[in-house]
Amino acid sequence: MSDFTATRAMFDLPDGVTYLDGNSLGPLPRAATERMAQVMRDEWGQMLITGWNRAGWMAQPARMGDRIARLIGAEPGHVVMGDTLSVKVYQALAAALDMRPDRRVILSDSGNFPSDLYMAEGLIKALDRGHELRVVAPEEVEAAISDEVAVLLLTQVDYRTGRMHDMATLTARAHAMGALTVWDLAHSAGAVPVDLAGCGADFAVGCTYKFLNGGPGAPAFIYVAPRHADAASPALSGWLGHAAPFAFEPSYRPGAGIERMRVGTPAVLALAALEAALDVWDSVDMEDVRARSVALSERFIAAVEATCPALELASPRDPVQRGSQVSFHFEQGYAAMQALIARGVIGDFRAPDIMRFGITPLYLDEADIDRATAVLAEVLNKRLWDAPEYHERAAVT
Ligand SMILES: Cc1ncc(COP(=O)(O)O)c(C=O)c1O
């Protein structure tokens, strides 16, 4: 049984803050500060360039990939870290399209994160082979998977509403139609149990700065199913994905399996922080995290609906169809969120009118949910959001 009192103590949360934004940026794991200091002091400082071998920096992306593999149901040896999620989307989509040379349609949905769609547009342009990005409503995806589709490109959990796609069903449908799948797990990894191998997913990508708590700008990950690992063609053929990087050959040869999805020099310091963040996950079971996430989410929804009549639930009511966040529509959502933040309850806002709250059992409990609800009710029912300073839009919402 996972001990969530113990995991809570592993985070350094500011006094007086109730943090409901771990779906956007996870908080600081206490051990990360010392781990980074140690890598800087003892490894970078003392080993200098020999750290690549002596401290194992070069092997870090695969080592950390294996630790994430456990959380997303991937086979060991088939996940590697690096770059940002947008770059990993591009790589996975390019490799998948290359495996379906006779098809031209990339199918996605309007709930996908814009960067995924932008990267698909950019790739289509670069390939210049007449591909089409077809975007349908989330509930229409299954019916839209036809034998024209080369790749189904989906984010499993919708960043705005938390609506969760059924990965097993959609992957099976895609395969039945001869298509491949690229799953974006940005809002799934560390949020809900994921079974990539069990679902037969072809490619998956995700970030580590949200539910996994790796820190701002922490590196992304990519998964390629074992059956494709030595066939996937790397679109971003950087030297560290080469079969023999230090042979410095004049032309590219892909490395073995997932290694070919590496591009350039790994972010050693960022990976050190992530390593400390992943230590927290070693002590918990994903099924326990999910059960607790559902319980806390249900408590939050019930209390908000009972006390804040102006808010309308934007997330699916059925927990089975919901990730680990709860969202509400409110026309003045931006201002209301600023008023909440000013009172120590941190969530965020997504245009046009969504107030988002991440439910993260590693460091949230019933008392946090109750406090957040009480402050939210006060902000709404006393119209505390209606002050000029809460209406000024910052660059990051
Ligand atoms: C679902 C999803 N995909 C892609 C991205 C882009 O990630 P990055 O900024 O790391 O490239 C995000 C960022 O939040 C996201 O939520």
The residue whose CB lies within 8 Å of the most ligand 1 atoms, and thus the one to mutate among 24, 84, 115, is: 115
Which of 6, 310, 98, 379 is closest to 371 using CA atoms? 379
Q: Which of 334, 356, 357, 368 is catalytic?
A: 356
- Count other Cβ atoms within 10 Å, centred on residue 109: 22
Q: What is the pLDDT of residue 395?
A: 85
**Rg of the chain's alpha carbons, rounded to an integer?**
22
The one-digit pLDDT tens for each residue of the chain (397 residues) are 899 999 999 999 999 999 999 999 999 999 999 999 999 999 999 999 999 999 999 999 999 999 999 999 999 999 999 999 999 999 999 999 999 999 999 999 999 999 999 999 999 999 999 999 999 999 999 999 999 999 999 999 999 999 999 999 999 999 999 999 999 999 999 999 999 999 999 999 999 999 999 999 999 999 999 999 999 999 999 999 999 999 999 999 999 999 999 999 999 999 999 999 999 999 999 999 999 999 999 999 999 999 999 999 999 999 999 999 999 999 999 999 999 999 999 999 999 999 999 999 999 999 999 999 999 999 999 999 999 999 988 888 7
Q: Which of 21, 109, 184, 202 is catalytic?
A: 184
Q: What is the pLDDT of residue 132?
A: 98
Q: What are phi and psi of 168, to 5 degrees?
A: -65, -45
C-alpha of residue 223 to centroid of ligand 1, in Å: 16
Q: What is the pLDDT of residue 1?
A: 87
Q: What is the DSSP letter of 129?
A: S
Q: What is the DSSP letter of 348?
A: E
**How far is Cα 232 from Cα 374, in angstroms, rounded to an integer?**
51
19 contact partners, CB below 8 Å, separation of at least 6: 13, 27, 346, 360, 363, 364, 368
Strands 203-206, 180-184: pairing kind: parallel
The residue whose CB lies within 8 Å of the most ligand 1 atoms, and thus the one to mutate among 23, 24, 84, 85, is: 85
Q: What is the pLDDT of residue 118?
A: 98
Biggest CA–CA distance in the chain, Å, is 68
C-alpha of residue 367 to centroid of ligand 1, in Å: 30
Model confidence, pTM: 0.98
What torsion do the CA atoms of 352, 357, 360, 363 make, to the nearest 10 degrees? 130
Give the closest residue (by CA) to ligand 1 atom 8: 85
Q: What is the pLDDT of residue 394?
A: 85
Q: What is the pLDDT of residue 376?
A: 98
Among this protein's residues, is 21 annotated catalytic?
no
Q: What is the pLDDT of residue 393?
A: 86
Q: Indicate the helix (H) or strand (E) that contains 115.
A: helix 114-127
274 contact partners, CB below 8 Å, separation of at least 6: 64, 81, 208, 212, 214, 215, 218, 219
Quote the crossing angle between the two packed helices 30-38 and 268-281, to the nearest 10°. Answer: 140
Condensed to tens digits (0 to 9), the pLDDT of residues 223-259 reads: 999 999 999 999 999 999 999 999 999 999 999 999 9
Ligand 1 atom closest to the Cα of residue 112 is 1
Torsion sign, CA atoms 143, 146, 148, 152: positive
Give the per-residue SS3 of 283-337. Answer: CCCHHHHHHHHHHHHHHHHHHHHHHCCCCEECCCCCHHHECCEEEEECCCHHHHH
Q: Which of 209, 211, 300, 349 is catalytic?
A: 209
**How far is Cα 22 from Cα 119, in angstroms, rounded to an integer?**
25
Report yes or no: 32 and 215 within 8 Å, Cβ to Cβ: yes
**What's the residue count for the chain?**
397
Report residue 367 as tokens.
């008392």
**How far is Cα 169 from Cα 135, in angstroms, rounded to an integer?**
19
C-alpha of residue 257 to centroid of ligand 1, in Å: 25
Among this protein's residues, is 292 annotated catalytic?
no
Which of 351, 278, 304, 352 is closest to 20 using CA atoms? 304
Q: What is the pLDDT of residue 397?
A: 78
Q: What is the pLDDT of residue 202?
A: 99
Q: What is the pLDDT of residue 396?
A: 83
**How far is Cα 206 from Cα 221, in angstroms, rounded to an integer?**
5
Q: What is the pLDDT of residue 188?
A: 98
